Structure 1
Amino acid sequence: MTAGSPPARLLAAAAAGGAIGAVARWALTDAFPTHGPDFPWSTFAINVVGSFALALLPAFAAVRGSRTLTVFLGPGLLGGFTTLSAYSEQSRALLAGGHTTVAVLYVVGTLVACLVAVRLADQWSTARQRRVFAHEGGDE
């Protein structure tokens, strides 16, 4: 391992969490697919729930107290669960299909809903707890 590289346990935690999160996301979008001009509700819900959960993590002492758990849950599980790429591609497809109103509602609605979810979750942690969480690598 080179200087500055994360310890192997953190790489393993991020990889395992990411794999679980990505499979959970895939399973949900497979169970609730979007077709044509339909609003992509499953990806919308995944991103809002994931944003809320990520912002809520600093409230838990167990998470703040374990860098491995912080990395597993933050950039790992929730990083794999949420998806900017699907959000972007679905927005592009809606626009390309001439569904401009749905695309704009999706883009703006997702952004607003995720920010509201983060603000709500933020209420359960202090600024100090959020700094500790960030220092442990939970928001990378």
Structure 2
Amino acid sequence: MASGAGWREFAAVAVGGMLGTGLRLGIDLVLPLADFPVSTLLVNSVGSFALAFLVAQHWGSLKPWARAGLGPGLLGSFTTFSAVAVSLVDMGTTGEWMLAAAYLAATLLLGLGAAAVGLRMGAPR
């Protein structure tokens, strides 16, 4: 959070973080980790789209506490780079370097693509 953030922003991030983490766990339970971490790829792509759409469509009209709760709170806890890193290291330690490279490429392409689509769809017409 930016300097000068107050208790509302802190509370919004805490509540958003609880919700995002719960959603993330739910998706992990529905799509359990297999040889390829589908749930992490899906969550990060959906989160990239959602944040980009939110930024393009509503960011300027939201109060600072709402931006903090939705951005770093909800979507920041829903998506995670650490899960990507652990998956890549795990694939690498088991000798699945090609799978790790494909997963990294898919993560970058889908995340950036989803963000681009979200910005375009959320942009005022």
Residue 17 (structure 1) aligned with residue 16 (structure 2): yes
Q: How much is the aligned-residue C-alpha RMSD, in angstroms?
A: 1.6
CA drift at 1:60:
3.3
Query: Could you report, residue by residue, the CA deviation over 1:7-58 in whole angstroms, capped at 9, with x for unpaired residues?
Result: 10100001110111011111211221113xx211110000000000000112
Q: How does 1:1-140 map to 2 (within 5 A)?
A: 4-35=3-34, 38-61=35-58, 64-123=61-120, 124-125=122-123
Could you tell me whether the CA contact under 8 Å between 1:63 and 1:70 is conserved in 2? no
TM-score of the pair, normalised by structure 2: 0.89
Shift of 1:71: 1.2
Secondary structure (helix, strand or coil) at the match of 1:16 reads helix
Provide the TM-score with structure 1 as the length reference. 0.80
Q: Name the SS for the 2:15 alignment partner.
A: helix
CA deviation string 1:57-82 (max 9, x = no partner):
12334873322221111111000000
Contact 1:18 1:77 survives alignment (8 Å): yes
1:63 and 1:69 in contact (8 A); partners too: no
Q: Do the aligned partners of 1:55 and 1:122 also contact (CA within 8 Å) in 2?
A: yes
CA distance in structure 2 between the aligned counterparts of 1:107 and 1:52, rounded to whole angstroms? 18
Q: Which has the higher helix share?
A: 2
Per-residue Cα deviation, 1:80-136 (whole angstroms, up to 9, x for no partner): 00010011001100111111111111011101110011111111226xxxxxxxxxx
- Where does residue 133 of structure 1 map in the other structure? none
CA contact (8 A) 1:64 1:70 kept: no
How far apart, in 2, do the equivalents of 1:82 and 1:61 lie? 20
CA contact (8 A) 1:57 1:63 kept: no
Flag the structure with more relative contact order, 1 or 2, with Cα contacts below 8 A and sequence separation at least 6: 2
